[in-house]
Each structure stands twice: as C-alpha cells, then as structure tokens.
Chains A and B, each alone.
Chain A
Amino acid sequence: MDKLRQLSIFSENKPGRLRKITKVLAEEGVNILAINIASSNGFGVIKFIVDKFEPAYQKLKQKGFTVSLNEVLAIELTDRPGGLFEVAALLSKKRINIENAYVLILESRKKAFLIADVKDVEKAKKLLEHENLRFYREEGPKKKKNARRVK
C-alpha cells in the first residue's frame, strides 16, 4: 500500500534533545531518511522519516520520549524547475492544505519526495487518486520505468 508514516517527537527547545533522540535511533539500528524540526514558544516537534518505524517508535516510547506516529502524504517530485510547482498546483486545485512539509531525497539528484502533513490523509489520497503522481511507499519505491497510476 502506498503509505508513509512519520515519527513526531515532542521536545523542549534546548540543546541536547536532538542528540538524545538520534542516539536512541542509532543504537536501534534505525536509519534516518529525513528530518524536520518545527519549534515554537520554547518547545519543538521533531519529525523523522526512518526505514524501520515500528522498532523506532517502540524504543523511543520505552526510553520515555513523547512520540506519535502519523501518516503523511509522500509525493514524488521531478528534479527540475517546476517540479514542486506542479505538485503544489495540483494540491491547491484539490484544496488540500499542507500544514507542514519537508523533502525526502532518496537518490541524490534522481529522486526526491515532498513529505506533507495534511489534515486528512485518506481524503487527500482519494482526491489525488487519478492524478499522474508517484508516491513513496514504506516497502521501498517501486522500480518502474513508466509513470504509473496511483492506488
């Protein structure tokens, strides 16, 4: 299934927190694929895309971190001028609002994904069903030569 989750960790905005969190992930053998930090008023939320979500989530919880796992949209971008514009235009047309976004780069200069937090992921996916988009999936990207329709 085309689905990508992200780990969100609540943290006080002070030195050392990122170090503590990434240490846990490293010790668990989890590889970080993308990171985004949003902070406000003394605290922050650190978001990760990793290669092994379950072990990462369980370990962080066990270690006492305040962590949540939620689904995001992960839309493949074409690496050329206009790449992001095209996706943004489409999301706008469908009135899908991006609340938070960052990028996941898989193969440098070859493949990048827009990671977007939206209010209702299921609804968004439905709206984008028949569009000409490629999505990231946790099992690994599908190796296809042609653009395929998304389910």
Chain B
Amino acid sequence: MFWQKDIETISRSALEELQLKRLKQTVGLAYKNIPFYKEQFSKLNLKPNDITSLKDVPKLPFTTREDLRENYPFGMLAVPKEQVVRLHTSSGTTGKPKAIFFSKKDVDRAAELIARCLIMTGVKKDDVLQNMMTYGLFTGALVMHYGAEKVGVLVIPAGPGNTKRQIALMQDFKTTTLHLTPSYALYLAGVMNNEGLDPKDFSLRRAYMGSEPYSEETRKKIEKFFKIDVYNSYGLSEMNGPGVAFECTEKNGMHLWEDNFIMEIINPETGERMPEGEEGELVLTTLYREAMPILRYRTRDIAMIIPGKCKCGRTHRRISRIIGRTDDMIIVRGVNIFPQQIERVLMGIKAVAQNYQIVLESYDLMTIRVEISKELFDGKVEHLVNLQSEITEKLRAEILVKPKVELLEPGTLPVSEGKTTRVIDKRTL
C-alpha cells in the first residue's frame, strides 16, 4: 500500500538527481531571501553556484538551534509574512522558543508525508484515528491531524490526558489507530489493566508512537497488551513535525523521506560525515520547504542510517531508533524540556538555592526537587506553601508541563557536576 508509489520506490539515481535539483533551488532561495544564510555563506566564501553535486553538501554551513533562537521571530523566513499561514513553536533552552513557519504549500506537503506514513502502515479510509498528542503550538498533533484528514480517516482530536474520556472515545467511536507518546501508551495500558478492560473488546489495530525515545521492549510491551502493531514515528518541529521518518510494516527502521530531506549522520564533535551503519548526529536539510528552508540542521538526535534495502520496496533509506541526544534535553508528555529552563526559573526565585533535581516518575508525573534557602526561612508554613505554589506556577509557565514541586532541606541533593545527575528518569521507556 503506497500513497505515492512512484516517488516512494523511485530509483536511487533518480532520487539523487531530484535531491540535487531541489537542493540547488533551496540553497538559492535561502541565500537570496534569508540574511542569516547570506552572511553564513559569505563567511565561508561560498556562493549558491558552488553547489554542483550532492558531494558539495558538506560545504554548506550547519544551522543550529541557537541560530534559530537568535533569529527569532522572523529572521529565518524566506517569504513575505503574508504568505505564511501557520506558526509552530518549539522549546528552546532560553526564554525564547524556536519559531517555524509554514506556507500553504508547506502545510500541504507535511500532510502528504504523513499520508505516506499512514498508508504505509495499512491505514484505509474507514480507519478511525485518535490523536492523543498535544494540540496548540506543538507540531505533534496538528501535523498528524492534517495528514490523516488528507487520507480520509475519521480523526478524533482528543489531545492528551483525561484517560477516562480517551477510553470512552475509543469504545464509542471504535478507534482503530492511536497517535501518542510511549509514556502515555504505558500509562493508558496501566489504567485499562486496572479497570479490568480487555483490549480485545476495542477496535484497535495500530498505534504510532513518537516524540520520545523508547526501547524495543517497550514497543513489544504495548503491542502485547493492546494486541496491535506499534510503529515508530520520528520528527521534529524544525522539520515540520511528525512525518520525517516512519516505520513500514517490516518494523525494521524508519524510512526517512529522502525526496524531502537530505540526511547526514555526522560526528558531533568534528562535523565529519559518518558512513552508513555508524552512529552519529542526524543532520537534515529541507528540500521543499518554501517559507522557512533550513540547511544542514543539527537535530542533536543520535541515530544511524540502516544500510541495505527494505523488503517493502521503498528506496528511501531507513534510520534506526533514536539512540540518544547530544544535549540534555528531556521529553515529558511529548514536550521538549531543557534543564536550563528550569534552572533559569529557579534562579529568579530568591527563596530557593540553585540545587535542584528533576525526577521523571511516570507519564503523568515530573517532580522538581528544590532546596530552599536557609537564610530566607522564617518559620511560617504558609510562606513555604506559597513558595511551593509560586515555583510550580512559574515552572509551568516556562516549560508548559505542570510539575510537582518538592521543597528540600539544603544539603539534601548531591552537588551536581554535570547533566546526568540533574535528571533521574524512572520511566523505563
């Protein structure tokens, strides 16, 4: 089952020809319309005409999230604002998020890529998709939504949480397909199990899990409980959101749509390209995006390109599961969070010391443990309770997820040297 069979099974040589053609157009567009890129190019003494083959890609400058942040809000736009119809944002390490703009064509193209993914995993018009990702500024829900509508399935825009209602929706509307994070899938399974609900009484056939890295064991666990097929989904807001790479029915790596993105695996320290089969940082270049083309974006996700052909017949190469990150970003309920964001909020509150810890207890629960300041303790419980509320509210406003805040005596936490001691992830994904 193919959505666009010709392009999905295109020969490698034709694909590379197409990539080169689109790359030249993208580079030209970026150079002409985005001052940031023009500057980067002149620093390297580079001109768009210097890109004559795919081998020239490494000549192009990288784009990092700092670049996006520094050019917030409109600095990375390649088209006039009037042509832009959608904005999505994604958390940054500092106060400002990253802004990603879509033209009408961009929105439609993102939907086409999703459509490929859905048809690839057996979806038909009579399927019912329950979209449990967060709607709003995040790409996770809306991009899947538009793609699913394009295919013609019934989309239930449930959003996350409110599990009782999710279950009722699944039963009442005979949901066949779920789109959710792996941590929510585990949570949902737990709730259904406790309620004595048998997945056999539901109409579920498949689930797409993404937004958070998770293991093969977790996939099998979910498949076993729900009696469905679980497919891994990869995406990032800067590259439209979900739909960048997706598993086919072989479930052996995610096909990355190479007609839309040039992918590279690099050594994060040196920037050197890694060969197929070796781990490194995934770098992506957009080939069709018109509102905001991005060249060689450092995703900070670590993965590898799986060598060899896939039995499904698609010629777009596969990437492995995301093995890790090159930074300390964590993902809670599908939302990207940087410990630096938490640190910054805490720094602005006098009554707390700088020592804190993030504990990811379960899908639902993120606890921030904070040491209070000895000097500012005045003996009053109400002040402490107010402090706790203040911290909770300020954190929630910053990271967009409401944490539980634990106040600790100074000296309780180990003095943190690096990133690893700050975050304790108990979720076993």
Contacts and interface: CB of A to CB of B under 8 A. Distances in A.
A41 B382 CA distance: 11
Given A66-B374, A70-B378, A45 B384 contact: yes
Nearest to B374: A66
Contact of B378 (A42, A44, A68): A68
A70 B379 contact: yes
Interface string B349-393: 000000000000000000000001010011111101100100000
Interface string B8-22: 000000000000000
A45 B381 contact: yes
B308 interface: no
Contacts of A67: 377
A24 to B, nearest CB: 14
Given A41-B388, A66-B372, A66-B374, A100 B409 contact: no
A40 B384 CA distance: 9
A68 B379 contact: yes
B406 interface: yes
B158 interface: no
Interface in B384-429: 384-385, 388, 406-412
Interface in A45-74: 45, 47, 64-70
Interface string B191-219: 00000000000000000000000000000
A40 B372 contact: no
Contacts of B379: 6, 8, 45, 47, 68-70, 117
Contacts of A69: 379
Contacts of B377: 8, 10, 66-68
Contact of B384 (A43, A47, A64, A99): A43
Contacts of A70: 378-379
28 contacts: A6-B379, A8-B378, A8-B380, A10-B377, A10-B407, A10-B409, A12-B408, A12-B409, A40-B384, A40-B385, A41-B385, A41-B407, A42-B407, A43-B384, A43-B406, A43-B407, A44-B381, A45-B384, A64-B409, A64-B411, A66-B372, A66-B374, A66-B409, A68-B378, A68-B379, A69-B379, A100-B381, A117-B380
Interface of A: 6, 8, 10-12, 38-45, 47, 64-70, 99-100, 117
Closest 4 CB pairs between A and B? A8-B379, A68-B379, A38-B381, A43-B407
Interface of B: 372, 374, 377-382, 384-385, 388, 406-412
